[in-house]
Chains A and B, each alone.
Chain A
Amino acid sequence: MPARDTLSQENEDFMTILARLEHWKEQGAISPEQHGYLVSLCRGEPFSLFLELNVLLYAGVLAFVAGLGWTVTTWSQQLGDVLVVAILSTILASSFWYCFSRAPAWSFTETPAPTAVFDYVLYLGSLVWCVELAYLENRFHVLSGRWDFYLLATAAFFFLLAYRFDNRFVLSLAFSSLAGWFGLTISHWPSYQDVAYRQYALLYCLLVGLGGVLLQRRAVKPHFFGTYLNIVANVLFWALLSGVFNREGYGVWFLALLLACGASLAWGLTRRQFAFIAYSAVYGYVGVSSILIRAISDEILILGYFVITAVAMLVALVGIARRFGRPA
């Protein structure tokens, strides 16, 4: 291949990655084997369809379960309980049989899926589990409508599956189920209010956060820790913001929000996890702004506030970006 066969027609200094690779090979910075491999990667030889095939598989599983749930909902009386339960159980049993029969031995560290479709079969099984559980309770009232028990059991089951098979889809389902359990438990209270919801959200954050830290310290699937932190951070910030938006008694929540923003910022800067800097900037700005402008009715002052504070935020963020924020 000519060294600079892809010189731009616009700019003589324009050196494509192929020309650079050739240059680096001539310099001895990379070996001829590396050069050959990297050139082929750049040229798309071979061209990887990994991401596209995974997205199609995911869409396929999702469409299938959506149709299954819709069909069961609509036609259960015509089909009969036995047939519906038999079909759902067959899919469920087949999915889990596939997963348990093909899973490698459990490991504390990240384990690649044994087959290309493994993660999606597990996801299918988990979603069908939800559909079947909902159907059984609705038809046979096994737990007399105590959905919180189902959700708690489902959350525990999904956590086990996620850790056994190292699956982020199912881990997210577990978080979702656990959040549902907290939500449904509170809905049994005779007069539930925002305050109670907020307390449960904080309890959820505490539980998930502590669980995540504990598992990470024991080096049990430590690569899941980022998922724990992101979920805890978002739920926590929403809960604190809802407290800040109160007309009365918002002082404690505001203080807690500032502390959380500080912690999130510190974590983001020290660990170079810039999502946490974004959380602290956005949630913090919304909380502080709601406190500062709630007593102001003058439009000019409010607009002036936004101009000055947004510019101040820009200056601060540019400072952070210049010092820490290289492309991830």
Chain B
Amino acid sequence: MENKAFSDLARLKKRLIAVFIAFAACLMIGGLVYHAHFRASRRADVERLLLSLEQIKLQQLTLWREGRMNDAMSLAESPVLGIYLARFAADTADRNAAALLKNRLQFYLRYNKYPLAALVDGAGRALLHAGEDPAGLSPQLPELIRQARASGRAEMGKFYRNGADNSPHMDIVVPAVKSGRGRELLLVLSVDLADYLYPLLQTWSAKGDTGETLLVSREGDHVLFLNDLRHTKDAALNLRIPMTTERLPSALALEGYSGLVKGGDYRGVEVLAAVSPVPGTNWALVTKMDWAEAMAGTAVVGLLLLALILVLLAAAGGWTFYLFRGHAAEFMRGVMDNLPIGIAVNSTAPQVKFEYMNSRFPEFYRTTREALEKPDNFWNAVYEDPALRAEIRGKVLADAASGDPARMVWTEIPITRKEGGTSYIDAQNIPLPGRDLMVSVVMDVTERRRALREIQKLNQDLVEKNREMENFLYVTSHDLRSPLVNIQGFSQNLADYFAVIKNEPAFRPGAERSEAVGRLLDEKIPSSLDFIALSVAKMDRLITALLRLSRLGRAPARPQKVDMNGLLRQILSYFSFKAEKSGAEFICGSLPPCLADREALNQLFSNLVENALKYRHPDRPPRVEITGRLEAGRAVYEVRDNGLGIDASQADKIWQLFYRVHPAAGAEGDGVGLSLVKALADKNGGKVGVTSEPGQWSVFRLEFPAAQE
């Protein structure tokens, strides 16, 4: 019925698996692509952020530097200071001017974020100051003074650790007095970086835990970190890292690179950084964020994506399996419904209830699925006759309750319908281990039963016919013998009477008798008597053979293991006298034992050997060779002679009763010997056949069940 399902199942399985794999692959590739794209865009966002921050910081830094220089310049050139500066330059001992200058400077410091303002001479000595102790001023002050003197503008010095409190500072120096008169004076403004610059750098306008901006400069082969760092304490002016450190963003910036870098920062942590040198300085600015933070969300998104993919895969797999199972179930249903047996799974107690049945099951019970599935309706549906139903139900339930599988096999149960007669089933229950269920198997054996009955009947008829035939043979030969006894007896009497008559002087030769009477007495009567005697003897042999044949059918064969070597020795020695007379030669190979009636074998082989001698070729002494071997569990023997042979056209007829191949040869042949051979072979589960070359040889091939050695 479901042929499509039949042929398609294997292909469907392959196809479903292929579709599932393709779907899974697409899903994974899509997921990977999406995730990669997501990371790239995330990275781009972070990069944009870092770049813009870098730009802002760079601008702020530039503005700050300009602001600080402008501060110094405007202070130095301020008219408020100018008069007193000139006076102080003219005479550094002018206390009044000094006091006024200091006062002005102090006033300035009050509203500007410088911890120290000082006036120094060309050698860098502090002549007066306001704020902190000038002793902590940069040791590089003389260098800075030279630069300022040369440029005539404000100059910024390098960052350094203040000699007084060791805090990071930077000095700005500007020539304070432009006229060449008097003492050279320079204004020094000291900047407390922690107070004034670092906060500017460290304001991180993007939220985050790892982002920072750092200012670096090069100090020989090292990168010197100028500001305080987020992740390392007290790093400003203390932390140095070799320029050669690989993928160090600040080193790249110091080498002049400007742009985005992915590398490892001073901690060795993977970071994404925007870098650029700070124009007009030997600084570089690095705005960076930890890679981990930059990509922080992506891992979660990746996991979510993975989870989504897995859920989709599971769903697809489930769907595929469901689809396949549906087809497989259909396939199995097709198989089950096409079996020539009915199968059901059911409980038997307390009532027959079906979990499953194939379409044959109700068919063999000659009812419908609906009828069987009705609660507690099995017995009513199957057995119409209440008496039979009760009987079968009782027996089946008792057998099933016994739990003995051997008892749960029922054969040839009649299923009778008022219309449609009786059919027969074989049924078997197979308990399912560990469950309250049985597998019920049922087969329609009506036809088998009918065929068996027919065979039994035919067999019976055959046995009957055979017995009749044997009986007929027996009775016939018996009754034939009865008149023969008379013919023989009375012809014997006649011979005796004739002898008496012949001995009468009147009838002796030479006595007076007519010629005709003389011929009768001397010739005709004796020869007639001889013919009668010969015929009687022959008839006797025939009847005896017939009797033997009939007896053969009635006597049961008693198969036993027969030592064929011993048997043939015995047979050949029996024939040795005849053999000697005719110059015959016997050759007997080693023969395997076989399973047959010993007496039957004796007669059979005797007949064959006798035939070989009887139907010898007149031109050569007879030669009889007997060989044997085992062939596929059968003992095979061959009796080969060099006699007259049998023409192929006669090969089938030689086994018939009274058929004679060589009527002329061997007068004593009666046409029974080979019939007997065949009958004996048949009776002992054997086979006999012949091959021959007429005028040359014959081989009789015999086959019997082999005996175990």
Q: Do A and B come from one complex?
A: no
Residue ranges of A at the interface with B (Cβ–Cβ < 8 Å) = none
Residues of B near any A CB (own CB < 8 A): none
